[in-house]
Amino acid sequence: MGQNVGRAFNVRDWVFPLVTPSYDESHKLLVQLPSEFGVAVPAMLLAPSTIQPNTLGSVVSTCVIYFHANACDIGQCVDDMCTFRDGALDGDGIVLCPEYPGYGLLREYRPSVSAINLVAQTAWNYCRKELGFNADQIMLWGRSIGSGPATALAKSLAAAMKLENQAAGLEDTSTTASSEGSPNQPVPKPVVSSTRPRPVGALVLLAPFISISAVIQHHVASQLIASIVGSMWDNLEVVKDSCMEEVPLCIIHPKTDDVVPGTHGQAIFEAATCKDKYGIWLCNASHNLFLTEERLQLTRRFLNQVSNPGRNRTRRRRLSNNVANKAASVPKGSMSDPDFDVDAEEWQRIATQLIEMGSEQRVEQSVWMSL
């Protein structure tokens, strides 16, 4: 009955609006992800074309799976993907953006929570099995409605790892994290609290919602309609689960968001059990803000800290390969000797950090208010 009334109110069309496809099978970034439900999932893959796909995990430090908003398809996400890679990952990463049922090349299929969650799992399997990334190299990014499948996938992976650890008899030393700061209080420099293996590299949520029903109630002030829709994805309840403690969390939310109130992002941040979490509230920005590299500067600093194990592991592999390739042909002790070889990216990173040190404290203390 509830579903029938929901259709009468056109709730589904409000949550999953029809979008004219912006791409076709000829798009140069399009890949097809093999799935377990008989339909290949189209996705945009932003990656170096000169590298074999199954070796990406050993050459590139980070993989982002981007779950897009509900008023666009993956063809319209390429600009955001480039911004994530260059603005948040210093160019050292790839971005995979899977399509939802009801959009793009999957427009003939009905969108639903369960179907989109299956797409999320399919994208994860592809990054692990086909691209060769370790779990802690993969970051889940969800924008607006995409925060639902991103958070649901993070919990599923975290819960599975927790069960594996318990079955292996590993000691559970987790503790519940306390909330840090509020939109009116400075936030100290984030400190990474754990070196244990993580189920995911990080969970990044841009303009996340508490639940779909809570968003609808905010706009129509009707508990009846909100109850008909149901929570769909309940991000607030998910982040409260103790299994999420080892998932680094970063929330980016416009303070004056006209679609999903900024209080939703704040509530998720404060309730999350994640040991490592970071919140950024953007002033003078609305829900459909255009992302720029500058807006991701603070995000990058947090992600650099929580992704150190995966990044260092990849750098070691990359340097090892470079040394192996050069050692046979370079005279020992010369300036071209691999022992003297300098990783330009590493030097650039160190130089940037040194330059930023002078303003680090001021930037961190204004993170809640100044962007």
Measured distance CA(82)–CA(144) in Å, rounded: 18
Average pLDDT, integer, range 294-299: 83
Whether residue 62 is contained in a domain is answered as yes
Structural domain for 302, as ranges: 2-312
Q: Name the more confident of 207 and 224.
A: 207
When the pLDDT of each residue in the chain is averaged and rounded to a whole number, the result is 77
- The predicted pLDDT at position 316 comes to 47
Average the pLDDT over 161-184 and give the result: 62
What whole-number distance in Å separates Cα of residue 128 and Cα of residue 307?
Answer: 17
Residue 178 to residue 114: CA distance in whole angstroms: 32
| Residue 238, in any domain of the structure | yes
Count of structural domains within the chain: 1
Quote the pLDDT of residue 283. Answer: 84
CATH number of domain containing 273: 3.40.50.1820
Task: Give the pLDDT of residue 78.
Answer: 95
Residue 171 resides in a domain: yes
Burial 74-109 (b: 16+ CB within 10 A, else e): bbbbbebbebbbebbbbebbbbbbbbbbbbbbbbee
- Structural domain contains residue 119: yes
pLDDT in tens, 82-117: 999 988 888 889 999 999 999 999 999 999 999 999
pTM: 0.76
pLDDT of res. 49: 67
Residue 195 has a pLDDT of 56
What is the rounded distance in angstroms from the CA atom of residue 16 to the CA atom of residue 251? 23
Give the closest residue to 269 by CA, choosing from 149, 187, 171. 187
Asked if the structure places residue 91 within a domain, the reply is yes
291 located within any domain: yes
Contact between residue 67 and residue 140 where contact means Cβ atoms under 8 Å apart: yes
> What's the confidence (pLDDT) of residue 361?
32
- CA atoms within 13 A of residue 184's CA, in its CB half-sphere: 1
Higher pLDDT, 184 or 114: 114
Question: What single string gives the DSSP state of each residue in 151-174?
Answer: HHHHHHHHHHHHHHHHHTT-----
pLDDT in the model for residue 312:
54
> What is the pLDDT confidence band of residue 293, given thresholds at 50, 70 and 90?
confident
Is residue 319 in some structural domain?
Answer: no
Q: pLDDT grade, residue 223 (50/70/90)?
A: low
> Which segment, 7-21, 172-186, 284-298, 313-327, is predicted with the most confidence on average?
284-298
Q: Is residue 353 part of a domain?
A: no
